[in-house]
Structure 1
Amino acid sequence: MLISLFGAVESGVIYAIMALGVYLSFRVLDFPDLTVDGSFVTGAGLTAISIVNGVPPVLATVLGAMAGFIAGCITGVLHTKGKINALLSGILMMIALYSINLRIMGQPTVSMLNESTIFQQLEAIWSRLGIDAFFNGILTALGADRVPTTWVIVIVMIIVTLGIKFLTDYYLKTEVGLALRATGDNQKMIRSLSANTDSLIIVGIGISNGLVALSGALIAQHGGFANVNMGIGMIVIGLASVIVGEAIFGKRTIAIATIAVIGGAVVYRIVVTLALQVDFLESGDMKLITAILVIIALIAPKMIQARKEQKRRLRKRAELSAQVEEA
């Protein structure tokens, strides 16, 4: 169980980057972008085929993220310049990316099992420094029957994800970032202030899909392969992470909202992992688990708020009754 939870945290931190991208499009820009299902595979596929052809893993990862950024920008152009509905723009780009990804990869699945990935290089450095023995000793002391060999992945990915989180926070507080947030809130208002909302939307959706593609590139290297169908349902997972995180941690400020998204991605993976430990549930039930989790995250806060409001009204009524009796 401890190893399973460790794996859930490990994958959750990587998926958190994708969730941050979804947060930018859905929450900041209020743009229902379904390009995510395609750009996730674009990042994974381009990174995998680049590594197989001898490109250094770090450069291959950057190329994957850039490809996702370009895909997002095209979606933004379809919406702003082509005047196509936002939802339809994302759907069209997602469909186009399926064929584009097949062209990039050359086959449905690209294996990297015999290739050096960014995580394998990190693990080699970690092992040479001897730091892994320290963490393995901690898990052994906690009673784990076997210890994971991927401590470096968790620690490095936490640092990388938090770094992206802080950069996102900083960007959204800059003049351009404030204009981006204002565009999501009220396009007509920000346009009246001479802001170029078209450019803001294009760049915003581009950054969103760049983060999604970066997550896909890292997930592909983490799993050792890229598959043309691995992006199916990614938008649902991203939304689940955002909604669950906001329900648990809140969203009062940008800094809290982004950390909530990261926490939501980790909580989502942990909940799914624990749910799959139940005997009658199978791996094919993951989408059902996701749907139930999102429903609970959407309904529970409203029920809690309604309960608080009811108690407040009852308390106010009791106070008024007491005042009337005293009079």
Structure 2
Amino acid sequence: MTPQVFFDAVTLGFEYSLLAVGVFITFRILDMADLTVDGSFGLGLACSAVLTVAGHPVLGLVVGAIAGACAGCATGLLITKAKINPLLAGIITMTGLYSVNIYVLGAPNVSLLGVTRVFDPIIEATGLPDDVVKMGLVVLIAAAAVAILACYFHTESGLAVRAVGDNEEMSRASSINTDAIKVGGLALGNGLVGLTGAILAQYQGFADLSSGTGMVMVGLASVIIGEVFGGHRSVTWGLACAVIGSVVYRLIIQFALAINLLDANALKLVSAVIVAVFMALPAVQKAMRDRSTRAAARNVMERLLAEDAEALVGAGQKEAANDR
């Protein structure tokens, strides 16, 4: 893997880090398997592309995040008001958003080549290379998002979100509006996913309707990898580990491509395998610990039995000597 390829993989990992953070919020903090991600990612990407072509790249990022948040609200309302299973609600919203994204984008794909993107004014002002500016901007956005969310989840509202994810019944008994918290949490998570799509459209220079396919798997892989390396300590640490997991995930994919272990058509398969392997690791580690504990207990028992047997033999020999 060349230094340039490594640099590009790290940059792309930071670019997708907000997706991982959004999935972390819904998957870990709210304890919901939200499948809206594929649709909200594509919606943010489409909104950003259309507004960038119209000459408003910064507005494209803002609207992309808001559009993703609206998608999360739609899923939240289906869950809380229509009483639909969270998995089904996410599928319904994701399916509907596919058509919405077609209408927003207006074509199967849109090119942003020759159009001013959010990176271009910074490149012109600083004279730095494109890759350095893109890397710096996505790292800055990811760091700011993690810092703001870390502060938020220690406020009263943020603690309420965490409480609903930990124990919904107890939260409801404590007069917390759990329905509003669920809708808000899903809006927050999918807003970050929409912002990821909005940044990606300008980062890669084009928007394609198929770009959102499999994003929930990418987000899950990043979260799981981050937890395997970082463990479960705190919400702030979990947010940071989601970012780290996104970078590591991209490096794993790039390493597999670099050694010709797979071709580009197998990326989704690799994502699924990575998620399965890293999700199975805790169970494997637990089984190994249990096996080690049982082996240690067996050794202690055998040693005690051997000592008891020696004591009995010694007592028998002593009695025999006394009888003589």
TM score, norm. by length of structure 1: 0.89
Q: How many residues align?
A: 307
Tell me, yes or no, if structure 1 residue 188 matches structure 2 residue 161: no
Tell me, yes or no, if structure 1 residue 230 matches structure 2 residue 211: yes
1:214 aligned residue (173, 191, 195): 195
Contact 1:108 1:228 in 2 (8 A): yes
* Structure 2 gap segments, 5+ residues each: 309-324
The match for 1:20 is 21
Identical residues among aligned pairs (%): 39
* Structure 1 gap segments, 5+ residues each: 133-147
Identify which range, 232-241 or 111-120, moves more after superposition: 111-120
User: 1:197 and 1:299 mapped to 2: Cα distance?
Assistant: 31
The match for 1:99 is 99
Contact 2:257 2:264 in 1 (8 A): yes
**Where in structure 2 are the equivalents of 1:76-87 lying within 5 Å?**
76-87=76-87
| 2:115 maps to amino acid | E
SS at match of 2:207: strand
User: 1:290 and 1:126 mapped to 2: Cα distance?
Assistant: 37
User: 1:326 and 1:126 mapped to 2: Cα distance?
Assistant: 78
**Where in structure 2 are the equivalents of 1:168-317 lying within 5 Å?**
168-279=149-260, 281-317=262-298
User: 2:46 and 2:130 mapped to 1: Cα distance?
Assistant: 26
**Where in structure 2 are the equivalents of 1:127-166 lying within 5 Å?**
127=127, 132=128, 149-166=130-147
How much is the aligned-residue C-alpha RMSD, in angstroms?
1.6
User: 1:82 and 1:125 mapped to 2: Cα distance?
Assistant: 51
SS at match of 1:116: coil
SS at match of 2:212: coil
The match for 2:112 is 112
SS at match of 1:69: helix
The match for 1:72 is 72
Deviations 1:189-216 (A, max 9, x none): 1111111001000110001110000000
| 1:171 maps to amino acid | Y
Contact 2:101 2:209 in 1 (8 A): yes
| 2:35 maps to amino acid | L
| 2:227 maps to amino acid | E
SS at match of 1:230: helix
Contact 1:275 1:289 in 2 (8 A): no
Contact 2:26 2:32 in 1 (8 A): yes
Deviation at 1:309, TM superposition (A): 2.8
Deviation at 1:308, TM superposition (A): 2.5
The match for 1:89 is 89
Deviation at 1:153, TM superposition (A): 1.7
Deviation at 1:324, TM superposition (A): 5.1
- Runs of 4 or more consecutive aligned structure 1 residues displaced over 4 Å after TM superposition: 323-327
Contact 1:123 1:150 in 2 (8 A): no
Contact 1:14 1:157 in 2 (8 A): yes
